[in-house]
Chains A and B, each alone.
Chain A
Amino acid sequence: MNELILVGQPNSGKSTFFNALSGYKALTGNFPGATVSYQEGELNLFGRIYKIVDLPGTYSLIPQDRAELEAKKFLVKHKEARIIDIVDSSVLARSLELTIELIELQRPMVVALNMIDVAKRKGLQIDHQKLSTLLDIPCIPTSAKRGKGAIEVIRASNKNKVPEKSVTLKFQKDVEEVIKSLAKKVPENLEKKLSIPARTIAIRLIEEDKYYLDAIQREFDFLLNEAEKARKILEKKHDKDAKFVIAAERHNLAMEIFEQVTTFTGVKQTESLGEKIDDIVLHPLWGYIILIAVFYGLFSIIFNLGSHFENIIVSQFDSLSKLIESRVSDKIFSLILIGLSQGVGGALGIALPYIIPFLIGLAILEDTGYMARIAFLADSIMHKIGLHGKAVVSFVLGYGCSIPAVMAARNLENTRDRIITAALSVLIPCSARTVIIFGLVGFYIGKWYAISLYIVNVLVIGLIGRILTRIDKKVVPGLVLEIPEYHLPVVKNVLIKTWIRIKDFITVVLPLLIAGSIVMVFLEHYSIDSIINSGLKPLTVFILGLPEKVGTTLIFGIFKKELSLMMLFQAFGTDNLSKVMTHSQMFVYAVFTLFYIPCISTIPVLYRETGKKVTFYVITGTLLLATTLSILARFVGIILF
């Protein structure tokens, strides 16, 4: 089968290109690697079957974090695959640098000059035939958003053209000589093993590319010394890091080619519409007001829509449970069925009404280019916590659901930021915890008490963030972020993105929710609740001053946060909680449930993203935090109520 790998810089329109082919796609999957997930599809085009893989966007092939290393490994290991390089033509000069790196791999390749329409609008004319000659591979103008050119690109890949004669394969004389003499020392069996030309191996060793350094370990250790020598020569001559000497070479080549193949047609140097919008959207005052308005709008739509559908869905499954109870005579079997139906109902009850609109909103924010602007606006606030702008995406997501929030932390470049962001984002009240805050505190005590809980929550997160970033005192490298042009979102793209994410959610979460629900049904049936209640008494009654009966509800809450409120009614057998709990107790209870242990569906995701140790710390840490804050709340309650 023909395998195609899509490679491109972020925002080059890679996923749009991938989706533009979906009409021909037989199947799409999302296969998660250790740190990145690829999209994969199968394509049936004029009787030929292709396997197509969409690697995560990257600015360069020299890996800087784990995700990039994974993507790189994938690319290098799939020797037979053809590379499709998606290039953003409107920023051709910069994009060509990745193209040059790809050409160095000497694999069959095609360049898709995407966003050709945007380039034209900017007054940039690209001679793709000339580019094709210079690079020695087919270069095809595309406009993925309008579905133009994608098929031609796939067709051109059938030529299996390896860019052997590309002009980019030769650097400036003195640099090239150093590379050549190092390349001569690269043993043939290493070339074979990696299936990469010696010259390229030499370049990458000089650049200290982790992938190649790992690959030569033990067997070819002598090369390390040779590379070090080569580096010294370059550094002495150019007075900067060897890897930057190489980067400068590629940069110069890219600029040269860019100048040869492009012409500027007279274009009005007036402010474009996008820039006019940015004048307001990125304004230090209006920008924040718009930001708040956007979130307010987004969340009020989600919650109003969500609660409406949740009631419908959950009540359907409730009646299903009742039906099972009355029809199935075998007790154990009936309990399992009820647990199953409650688990599925619970998952659908949150997923469909809240998470789908939320993910659609998110995909729109990303596709329009507003997400990058949010990171821009939030940068200074995030710095107060010790993180930077990109972390805000996780925090925003956290108000919907902790799961996508934890997953979004992937976007951060360094491990420390990634872990701290993921850990903090589980403290944000997700939609399920919002149900508790408003259903208990908002409803029985007052709206402003509920809102103040949100404010306290933000302050606590800020404080903990500060502490965590102080403990691991790495310098924050800070924000470097491309702000893409505005684009109108494409419905198909948004829906496909949402679908892929929701599938991820369902496969991770559904099995756990079902298992959890079955356990719960059994607990209830065999009245194990009283044992749990007395077991938890030291915490609930003595430390927190709550009624003993809340014990089980807290356990249920780990399965599904909003369950604790529902179970509270059930545990007391009342529909008016103010008869059985004082305001002060409700307040303490809400504070505790707001901060304690992430729900059972979040834990595996946290584990997958951050590892065992961090997950353990988060679980124990949140428990401690919740207890401490609840004790404080108890004292505050004495004063307030």
Chain B
Amino acid sequence: MKLIETSMDQQVTVKGFTGGSNLVSKLYKLGIKEGVSVKIKKKSNICPILLEINGSTVAIGRGMAAKIIVEEEKE
């Protein structure tokens, strides 16, 4: 599924990206890469999505969140 389709407090693993390499580089810099586990900290209908990743908090715009493929982690 896409990051934009997740719900709050879900723990997901990043699987890949559907955007260009410009977008991917931007995400990489903040640690959002394939295989990394992120937690959805906040999600609403208007604001960007707030993630927790390796102890830091990162906001991702909704447009970008539609280009990030994730998979829910099983407990």
User: Which B residues are in CB contact (< 8 Å) with A124?
Assistant: 55
Contact of B58 among A241, A244, A482 (CB under 8 A): A482
From residue 18 to 60 of chain B, which have CB atoms closer than 8 A to chain A? 19, 21-34, 41-42, 44-48, 50, 53-60
- Give complex CA distance A244, B17 in Å: 12
- Give complex CA distance A225, B24 in Å: 25
Contact of A379 among B23, B27, B32, B47 (CB under 8 A): B47
User: Which B residues are in CB contact (< 8 Å) with A284?
Assistant: 44-47
Contact of B26 among A90, A244, A413 (CB under 8 A): A413
**Any B CB within 8 A of the CB of A404:** no
A287 to chain B, nearest CB (A): 8
User: Which B residues are in CB contact (< 8 Å) with A480?
Assistant: 26-27, 30, 32, 58-61, 64
Q: Which residue of chain A lies nearest to B67 when distances are taken between CB atoms in the complex?
A: A478
**Any B CB within 8 A of the CB of A256:** no
User: Which A residues are in CB contact (< 8 Å) with B50?
Assistant: 278, 282, 376, 483
Secondary structure type dominating chain B contacts:
mixed
Cβ-defined contact, B21 with A59, below 8 A: no
- Give complex CA distance A243, B24 in Å: 11
Contact of B55 among A91, A248, A287 (CB under 8 A): A91
Minimum-distance CB pairs A-B, first 6: A478-B61, A479-B61, A59-B29, A478-B64, A284-B44, A91-B56
A82-109 interface mask toward B, CB cutoff 8 Å, 1 = contact, 0 = none? 0000000011011001000000000000
Q: Which residue of chain B lies nearest to A58 when distances are taken between CB atoms in the complex?
A: B29
- A-B pairs with beta carbons under 8 Å apart, 29 shown: A59-B30, A64-B26, A90-B55, A91-B55, A93-B55, A94-B54, A241-B21, A244-B21, A244-B28, A248-B33, A251-B31, A275-B41, A372-B59, A375-B59, A376-B48, A379-B47, A379-B59, A380-B46, A380-B48, A380-B62, A383-B62, A477-B19, A477-B23, A478-B23, A479-B61, A480-B58, A482-B30, A482-B57, A483-B57
A120 to chain B, nearest CB (A): 13
**Any B CB within 8 A of the CB of A463:** no
Q: Which residue of chain A lies nearest to B53 when distances are taken between CB atoms in the complex?
A: A94
User: Which B residues are in CB contact (< 8 Å) with A64?
Assistant: 22, 25-26
Cβ-defined contact, A282 with B47, below 8 A: yes
- Give complex CA distance A59, B26 in Å: 9
A248-284 interface mask toward B, CB cutoff 8 Å, 1 = contact, 0 = none? 1001000000000000000000000001001000111
Cβ-defined contact, B64 with A122, below 8 A: no
**Any B CB within 8 A of the CB of A456:** no
Q: A91-B54, A377-B47 are in contact. Are A478 and B21 (CB under 8 A)?
A: no
**Any B CB within 8 A of the CB of A476:** yes
B69 to chain A, nearest CB (A): 13
Q: Which residue of chain A lies nearest to B65 when distances are taken between CB atoms in the complex?
A: A478
Q: Which residue of chain B lies nearest to A94 when distances are taken between CB atoms in the complex?
A: B31
**Any B CB within 8 A of the CB of A560:** no
A275 to chain B, nearest CB (A): 8
Q: A282-B47, A376-B50 are in contact. Are A244 and B24 (CB under 8 A)?
A: yes
A483 to chain B, nearest CB (A): 4
A302 to chain B, nearest CB (A): 28
**Any B CB within 8 A of the CB of A433:** no
Q: A91-B54, A93-B31, A282-B50 are in contact. Are A379 and B61 (CB under 8 A)?
A: yes
Number of interface residues of B (CB under 8 A): 35
Cβ-defined contact, B58 with A477, below 8 A: no
User: Which A residues are in CB contact (< 8 Å) with B28?
Assistant: 60, 244, 247
Cβ-defined contact, A380 with B47, below 8 A: yes
User: Which B residues are in CB contact (< 8 Å) with A251?
Assistant: 31, 33
Q: Given contact pairs A59-B30, A482-B57, enumerate 7 new A-B contacts (beta carbons under 8 Å).
A: A90-B56, A94-B30, A287-B47, A379-B59, A380-B48, A478-B63, A483-B58
**Any B CB within 8 A of the CB of A543:** no
User: Which A residues are in CB contact (< 8 Å) with B30?
Assistant: 59, 94, 480, 482
**Any B CB within 8 A of the CB of A537:** no
User: Which B residues are in CB contact (< 8 Å) with A481?
Assistant: 48, 58-59
**Any B CB within 8 A of the CB of A389:** yes
- Give complex CA distance A260, B60 in Å: 30
A103 to chain B, nearest CB (A): 18
Contact of A388 among B23, B56, B61 (CB under 8 A): B61
User: Which A residues are in CB contact (< 8 Å) with B48?
Assistant: 376, 379-380, 389, 479, 481
Cβ-defined contact, B47 with A477, below 8 A: no
- Give complex CA distance A51, B34 in Å: 41
Q: Which residue of chain B lies nearest to A241 when distances are taken between CB atoms in the complex?
A: B21
Cβ-defined contact, B54 with A93, below 8 A: yes
From residue 40 to 68 of chain A, which have CB atoms closer than 8 A to chain B? 59-60, 62, 64
A367-381 interface mask toward B, CB cutoff 8 Å, 1 = contact, 0 = none? 000001001110110
User: Which A residues are in CB contact (< 8 Å) with B23?
Assistant: 477-478
Q: A241-B21, A477-B23 are in contact. Are A376 and B60 (CB under 8 A)?
A: no
Q: Which residue of chain A lies nearest to B54 when distances are taken between CB atoms in the complex?
A: A93
User: Which A residues are in CB contact (< 8 Å) with B56?
Assistant: 90-91, 94, 482
- Give complex CA distance A478, B58 in Å: 13
User: Which A residues are in CB contact (< 8 Å) with B32?
Assistant: 480
Cβ-defined contact, A477 with B59, below 8 A: no
- Give complex CA distance A458, B60 in Å: 26
User: Which A residues are in CB contact (< 8 Å) with B61?
Assistant: 379, 383, 388-389, 478-480
B29 to chain A, nearest CB (A): 4
